[in-house]
Amino acid sequence: MAKLSTATIPVRRGPIFPYVKALVFSLGVKLALRPQTLLDVGCAKGEFLRLASFFGIDSFGVDVDEAAILEVPEHLRKKCFVGDIVDLPFETGQFNLVTSFAVLEHIPAGKSKAALEELLRVSRKNVLLQICVKDSFLERNRHYLLDPTHVNVKEGSWWANLFSQMGVNYRELGPHLGVFLLTV
């Protein structure tokens, strides 16, 4: 698999966007899902992990990019690992919640099912996904076309069909946002 450095993708929405996104998702996770443990797949520099941990969630991360892991705050770095989304270095059902934000659009379509199966395998309860989808109002300016590592940007219905084909229970959290909650 080609190494994807989430740390080197150019920022298109401003330098504060990752922190605002991390705050919104961490608050939502804490208030709505209340997990004791979570794994963030594609954790990059750990913005989300930092806030989830602050809110009292025992948080772990994994990313394909070792350089990004080295930028995770030191107190969290011991809980972050280098790994591949289709072969996660964790036990089956190890986490209450598995999250993956803006990662699946970087995985070739042919590996989407294997990636989802692996996310579901390590979760004992839920998987929360945020996927860049073509029909999102956030992508009306088609930002996804600016990133050459976006090899799998589809409509939300494409992902919903894949979940259904896999027999996965899911909910789309808001129309055309690319945010899905899968239940194990």
Residue 67: give its domain's CATH number.
3.40.50.150
Residue 8 forms part of a structural domain? no
- Tell me whether residue 111 is in a domain: yes
The dihedral over CA atoms of 33, 34, 38, 42, expressed in degrees to the nearest 10, equals 50
Question: 91: Cβ–Cβ under 8 A, 6 or more apart, which residues?
Answer: 122
Q: Does 2 map to a domain?
A: no
pLDDT for position 21: 82
CA 44/CA 5 separation, integer angstroms: 8
Residue 5 domain-assigned?
Answer: no
CA contacts within 13 A on the Cβ side of 51? 18
- In this predicted structure, the answer to whether residue 41 has a pLDDT above a threshold of 70 is yes
pLDDT, position 10: 42
pTM: 0.87
Q: Is residue 50 part of a domain?
A: yes
* Within a domain: 11: no
Whether the per-residue pLDDT at 136 is higher than 80: the answer is no
The reply to whether 70 falls in a domain is yes
Q: Give the whole-angstrom CA distance, residue 5 versus residue 3.
A: 6
**Tally of domains in the chain:** 1
Which pLDDT value is given to residue 7?
43
Residue 4 forms part of a structural domain = no
| Predicted local confidence at residue 37, as pLDDT | 98
What domain range includes position 27? 17-183
For residues 114 and 104, the answer to whether their CB atoms sit within 8 Å is: no
Cα(78)–Cα(182) distance, rounded to whole angstroms? 28
Residue 9: alpha-carbon gap to chain centroid: 16
What proportion of the chain, given as a percentage, has pLDDT over 90? 74
Tell me which of 2-11, 33-42, 60-69, 102-111 is least confident. 2-11
Name the residue with higher pLDDT: 18 or 174: 174
Nearest residue to 159 via CA among 127, 121, 125, 122:
127
Residue 61: in which H helix or E strand, if any? strand 58-63
How sure is the predictor about 134, in pLDDT bands with cuts at 50, 70 and 90?
confident
